[in-house]
Structure 1
């Protein structure tokens, strides 16, 4: 009897901690700490949030902060023109010597996670591989100013396609989610809040946006972008954080359908991010993939735990009555 009660109490503590973890506000200061405070192998919600006051994704001076677009092309969740898609989903890359060995391994690990997450059975959607001498088009990953990436394949673009991943004592892009964010730009994806249906899900707080940066919140029409028949995703790794480009520390984006939604997570690809890559690179045609909201997965987990807890309490009561 005491054993069952102890187990039940343990489950109560677990559920309280579980709910508390989900409800924790993002910690925007961790990214600016010295590297000794970083946990690169097991990123969490707290240490994966970019700093709102000094976000390395916003300091490169590029379009929407981190997207390198040499000329005007269609913009949005994913490019409509098929020439933006990397042929056969293969992306050759070169990691320069400006990236340390440890961070190079972190990048490779983040890439492998993307490959594994988007795989459907034996079908590999995307594949990043080291470039060879025969590769004329490839990406160069380097240390530099901010976090940024060229968007899409762009066959006729002859200049180098760079992915910049800054790492300094003040700020770093060396997080699994940030690396995946930039590489999703490479694959042809834009920011989630650029979707044409974004006003149904978020409210842009224009009065809180820094002067001269309002263009970063531009919204595009369905003629410009392809949402790939997916729903708006608060949990996308491609979404801005709530106070992106804020002039006063107040939110510039508010979620209107889920007030507790955490915007701008940089833990890693969400289920909808994964589905969009599968659809954009056409490897979902042999699978009945279903778009599942991140919140649905979390809620399902909570329900399972709570059902187990109820069962244990009922069992304890039943045993007590028998004894």
Structure 2
């Protein structure tokens, strides 16, 4: 009971809707929260010791999109406004990675984005008309990117075979009907050597599939690293982009477009001078209107390893006072205090 009380006290700092919540009652079609498996994939997943269990690695040619180009069709069920949300999310994904999305002409293999009953996708290219479901609740860029990464062939970060070195799954707090969502992938199926990425958009938050007690969701995953919280990851992390560009075999360093981080209001400098960038009450507004002036922009996503160093003499003080683990300051400290805050 002591541990349960502790888990109840850790509340998420950002309360955004998550894929696992939207799909919580969608049990017939999906596996691991939001993945659809083909019959052959399902058979492989059923054998946990199989050397071919990790789909993305073992189907290296069959499940790749040719030339990193993904033909797609957006269902006519979407309103014009909702279709534009999807298109903008795909455009933003293109600007960060080597993958391109093109409206389907006559291609045999293509992504069909449909407004069904949840957020889910196949893993990798399956061939033919390939479903990716985005109900109205799923129309947020971070959810669209998550499902697109599944379609490219990437699985969940918290299911890595080495995850127990980085997180502790609190099984007693997991809804018994959802235990399978914490299965680990086969150890011999991992080929990437990137460090465990708590900030990955493919990592569920620390309350995923938790039981509800006294109106509060119980914690199901606890980070083992210091100054880390498993909050809602709503942007592609540095390692997400690095992995995508490695998969796409990019030859050049591809940086995030400056256009993505442009201010959208002429009075941003004035609002910054009034201190609104630092006020948590205005954070979501300033993040949307004035990302450039407030310094919320992500550092360029480069393929090559950068120097791991601090650029501010006060980094140790920031860390002692908990700023490294505060999501509001994360983007700033990724640049200024990368070493002390453990971002490299």
Normalised by the length of structure 2, the TM-score is 0.64
Alpha-carbon displacement from aligned partner over 1:229-273 (angstroms, at most 9, x marks no partner): 2111111111111111111311111111035423341x2211110
Residue 183 and residue 144 in structure 1: after superposition, are their counterparts in 2 closer, same or farther (change >3 A)?
same
Structure 1 portions without partners, runs of 5+: 1-23, 29-46, 119-124, 305-323
1:297 Cα shift?
5.3
Which SS does the other structure have where 2:133 is aligned?
Answer: strand
Count of matched residue positions in the alignment of Structure 1 and Structure 2: 245
Which SS does the other structure have where 2:101 is aligned?
Answer: strand
Alpha-carbon displacement from aligned partner over 1:5-63 (angstroms, at most 9, x marks no partner): xxxxxxxxxxxxxxxxxxx94343xxxxxxxxxxxxxxxxxx4x4287xx114443211
Residue 302 and residue 150 in structure 1: after superposition, are their counterparts in 2 closer, same or farther (change >3 A)?
same
Partner of 1:21: none
Which SS does the other structure have where 1:251 is aligned?
Answer: coil
- Indicate yes or no: 2:293 matched with 1:278: no
The answer to which of 290-299 and 93-102 deviates more is 290-299
1:302 Cα shift?
5.3
1:60 to 12, 21, 26: 26
Partner of 2:132: 163
Partner of 1:19: none
Alpha-carbon displacement from aligned partner over 1:188-234 (angstroms, at most 9, x marks no partner): 011111111111110000001111221110111332233x2211111
Structure 1 segments, 4+ long, off by >4 Å, are 73-78, 284-288, 291-297, 300-304
Partner of 2:100: 127
Alpha-carbon displacement from aligned partner over 1:254-297 (angstroms, at most 9, x marks no partner): 111035423341x2211110001011121157775238999885
1:146 Cα shift?
1.1
Residue 282 and residue 51 in structure 1: after superposition, are their counterparts in 2 closer, same or farther (change >3 A)?
closer
Matches within 5 A, 1:1-323: 25-28=12-15, 47=16, 49-50=17-18, 55-61=21-27, 62-70=30-38, 71-72=40-41, 73=44, 74=52, 78-82=56-60, 83-118=62-97, 125-132=98-105, 134-155=106-127, 158=128, 160-167=129-136, 172-226=137-191, 228-248=192-212, 249-265=217-233, 267-284=234-251, 288-290=303-305, 298-301=332-335
Structure 2 portions without partners, runs of 5+: 1-10, 45-51, 254-301, 309-323, 339-344
8 Å contact 1:238–1:264 — kept in the other structure? no
Instruction: Measure the CA separation in 1 of the matches of 2:86 and 2:210.
Output: 29
1:108 Cα shift?
1.0
8 Å contact 2:19–2:119 — kept in the other structure? no
Instruction: Measure the CA separation in 2 of the matches of 1:77 and 1:260.
Output: 29
Say which one has the larger Rg. 1
1:301 Cα shift?
4.4
Which SS does the other structure have where 1:257 is aligned?
Answer: coil
Which SS does the other structure have where 1:203 is aligned?
Answer: strand
